[in-house]
Amino acid sequence: MIALLTRDLRLAVRAGGGFGLGLAFFLIVTVLVPFGVGPETGLLARIAPGVLWIGALLACLLSLDRILALDWEDGSLDLLATAPLPMEGIVSVKALAHWLTTGLPLVLAAPLLGVLLSLPQEGYLWLLVSLALGTPALSVIGTFGAALTVGLKRGGLLLSLLVLPLYVPTLIFGAEAARRGAEGLAVQTPLLMLAGISAGAIALLPFASAAVLRINLR
């Protein structure tokens, strides 16, 4: 499992530009928002937590089809399936690799982009915490979507259609926690719900992803 993880990480960093792409996309979305809604500081400060959450979510979505598609094309997924590692382990490692290469950089970059949107002082900590708790769920749910559409020629659009509704609860609780943090309100309830969703998704969804992947590899 560790060998697979290091392989995936090395591939993500060295081969084919997928690594920085999510971050660049996140930056561009954040830069575009003030152009769209105007540069008033008060307005930007109010919508900053939500915009940053949506930006992170879309950046995450953008990189989902890379989780499995490359391995599917060159046949290494078939090799992995015949390896002694259970399929559940494979998809978990894939999701972890996706989180380390996409989710974690997004979490770390979010406060910097918060400066651009004049996020209030109190908001940074809770933005960081909510993203750190929420992005694992995004990666795990995304892996499920990627496993569903892996066999399709042009699965990208379908992947977004399938995954975005599944992202709704995570987004609601995550953005709510970040917003409450920025406004200095109590953040405990949404953060707990967010952590619950992440924990539940990490615990249960790999089984669904593995089942789906087995069907697709049949």
Partner 1 sequence: MSIWEYANPVKFIRTTDIVLPWISAAAVLCLVTGLVWGFFFTPDDYRQGSTVKIFYIHVPAAMMAINAWAMMLVASLVWIIRRHHVSALAARAAAPVGATFTVIALATGALWGQPMWGTWWAWDPRLTSFLVLFLFYLGYMALWSAIENDDTAADLTSILCLVGSVFAILSRYAVLFWNQGLHQGASLSLDAEENVSDVYWYPALVCIAGFVLLFVALVFLRTQTEIRARRSRALLARERRA
Structure tokens at 47: 């919508």
Stretch of 2-10, 14-22, 89-97, 162-170 contacting partner 1, by CB under 8 A: 162-170
Task: Report the distance separating Cα 87 and Cα 84, nearest Å.
Answer: 9
| Binds partner 1 by CB under 8 A, chosen from 169, 183, 185, 202 | 169
The rounded radius of gyration (Å) of the Cα atoms in the chain is 18
What amino acid is encoded at 43 in this protein? L
Q: Does 34 bind partner 1 (CB under 8 A)?
A: no
Beta carbons within 10 angstroms of residue 78's beta carbon: 12
Stretch of 30-38, 78-86, 109-117, 207-215 contacting partner 1, by CB under 8 A: 207-215
Among 20, 37, 22, 33, CA closest to 116: 33
Residue 216: CB minimum distance to partner 1, A: 7
In the chain, the DSSP E strands lie at none
Q: Does 149 bind partner 1 (CB under 8 A)?
A: yes
Q: By the criterion CB under 8 A, which residues form the site for partner 1?
A: 144, 148-149, 151-152, 155, 158, 161-162, 164-166, 168-169, 172-173, 176, 189-190, 193, 197, 205, 208, 211-212, 215-216, 218
